[in-house]
Structure 1
Amino acid sequence: MLAAGTVVSAALLLVLGVLLGTHWGSAAGTPAADSVEVGFAHDMQAHHRQAVEMSTLVRDRTDDPDVRQLALDIALTQQQQAGQMFAWLETWGVGQGRTEPVMAWMDEVPGGHAGHGMDLPEGGLGSVAEMPGMATAEQMARLEAADGVEAERIYLQLMATHHVAGVEMAEAGAEGSELPVVQRLATAMATGQQSELLVLDDLLAERGGPLDDL
């Protein structure tokens, strides 16, 4: 399990994210329920939740300081960002319930799904589990059952795939949104995850590279 101090830090960052999101979201205007902004916030929150879950799992399954530090950085960053997006949705009066299909907002982004490297059906997806980059239930179970170097390799490989899709989604959100607050956070997400991808790839290569059966 995460140490008590880490849990407190994650909780504080979530609260900070909510406060920041409430402040900036209220100043930015109120997008419609079917807007790029609302769809992006819903979907990226869900995407971030799995990244936090994977990062928490691997920290319980390895003593490697480099992997543990990277996982902590990813978990805390994405927890804070998720808090901001949660607050946007509340401030905009939309709440956490969806009215549009998953990823349907991408239809409104210039270039659509294809223009951002995603092969998705027009009109969105049927569930969050189908989102690009999401680890399957079987892959998550495999990570949960592993330990040591095996857990590290599974985590690094799954998170790299997760980040590639996260960057594409963030870039689409930045391009498709008309609100500066969303553009700024989405751009920061893309930049941060691109940097983390370099570290993920390096750490995975040091451990023998991708697993063929994952």
Structure 2
Amino acid sequence: MSRRSWGLVAALALALVCAAAAVLVAAGGDRATAEPNSRTPTAGSPDAGFARDMAAHHQQAVEMSFVVRDRTSDEDVRRLAYDIANTQANQRGMLLGWLDLWGLPKNEAARLPMAWMGMGTEPGTDGATMPGMATRADLDRLRGLSGKDAEVLYLQLMTAHHRGGIHMAEGCARLCTVGPEKRLAQGMVDAQRSEIDLMAQMLKKRGAAPRPN
């Protein structure tokens, strides 16, 4: 990773900490006023499961976005990659902050990914542990490309990533009980649908299309 990218990582890390601190205060205030009878989520709840799984899901999106920023000079792709990395790093901070607030572990090997949605399966050996996630082979290929080829693969991988993320976020919007988390999940659905439309246009401009579902 270049020196510039490390600087971006540091900036995002600071933003993540600030966002997490702000949301902890907001989440506590929300539960104390709007949801006075709510209970702290348990480790097996949809609230906790979504927070754990989406934090991991977001981490890969941040990683892919930094990779493509180093592999292309196209300003539109670089701008999109930065926006996705910044947004998802901050959201990841919120999710991990809630787990801290609830006194719950950020990782639970005993619980399968997506079990909170009733669809937990054994993770594959290719690194794609949840819907839409890129495989290790995909990531290695992205790191080896540059220019238009890197742009196209990134846009295809991120489109699939967003589709999987939307599926998860819709599950939380339906099943989670903590108000701020449900609103965050619905915000993810709306924003990522918009970005999927944008990426479809960017792929078309490059003579490519999203991968089939």
Matched residue, 1:104: 115
Matched residue, 2:35: none
Whether contact under 8 Å (1:21, 1:86) holds in the other structure is: no
Deviations 1:142-185 (A, max 9, x none): 00000000000000000001101111111111111111011111
Matched residue, 2:66: 56
1:87 pairs with 2:97: yes
Instruction: Determine the C-alpha separation between the residues in 2 that align with 1:133 and 1:168.
Output: 9
Task: Point out 4+ residue stretches in structure 1 off by more than 3 angstroms.
Answer: 2-5, 24-29
Instruction: Determine the C-alpha separation between the residues in 2 that align with 1:4 and 1:140.
Output: 19
Aligned pairs for 1:123-138 within 5 A: 124-127=120-123, 129-138=128-137
Shift of 1:4: 5.8
Matched residue, 2:34: none
Aligned pairs for 1:18-167 within 5 A: 18-27=20-29, 28=31, 29-98=39-108, 99-107=110-118, 122=119, 124-127=120-123, 129-167=128-166
Say if 1:72 and 1:61 are closer, same or farther in 2 by CA, change over 3 A. same
Q: Which moved more, 1:75-84 or 1:2-11?
A: 2-11
SS in 2 for 1:130: coil
Q: Which moved more, 1:26-35 or 1:4-13?
A: 4-13
Say if 1:3 and 1:144 are closer, same or farther in 2 by CA, change over 3 A. closer
* Structure 1: tracts of 5 or more residues without a match: 108-121
Matched residue, 1:15: 17
Whether contact under 8 Å (1:133, 1:162) holds in the other structure is: yes
Instruction: Determine the C-alpha separation between the residues in 1 that align with 2:7 and 2:69.
Output: 14
CA RMSD of aligned residues (A): 1.7
* Structure 2: tracts of 5 or more residues without a match: 32-38
SS in 2 for 1:85: helix
Q: Which moved more, 1:90-99 or 1:62-71?
A: 90-99
Instruction: Determine the C-alpha separation between the residues in 2 that align with 1:136 and 1:164.
Output: 15
Whether contact under 8 Å (1:21, 1:85) holds in the other structure is: no
Instruction: Determine the C-alpha separation between the residues in 1 that align with 2:115 and 2:23.
Output: 23
Q: Given residue 185 of structure 2, which amino acid in structure 1 is its aligned partner?
A: A
Q: Given residue 88 of structure 1, which amino acid in structure 2 is its aligned partner?
A: W
SS in 1 for 2:131: coil
Say if 1:4 and 1:102 are closer, same or farther in 2 by CA, change over 3 A. closer
Instruction: Determine the C-alpha separation between the residues in 1 that align with 2:129 and 2:90.
Output: 24
Instruction: Determine the C-alpha separation between the residues in 1 that align with 2:85 and 2:178.
Output: 26
Instruction: Determine the C-alpha separation between the residues in 1 that align with 2:83 and 2:181.
Output: 22
Shift of 1:43: 0.5
* TM-score normalised by L of structure 1: 0.86
Instruction: Determine the C-alpha separation between the residues in 1 that align with 2:22 and 2:112.
Output: 27
Matched residue count: 197
Say if 1:75 and 1:26 are closer, same or farther in 2 by CA, change over 3 A. same
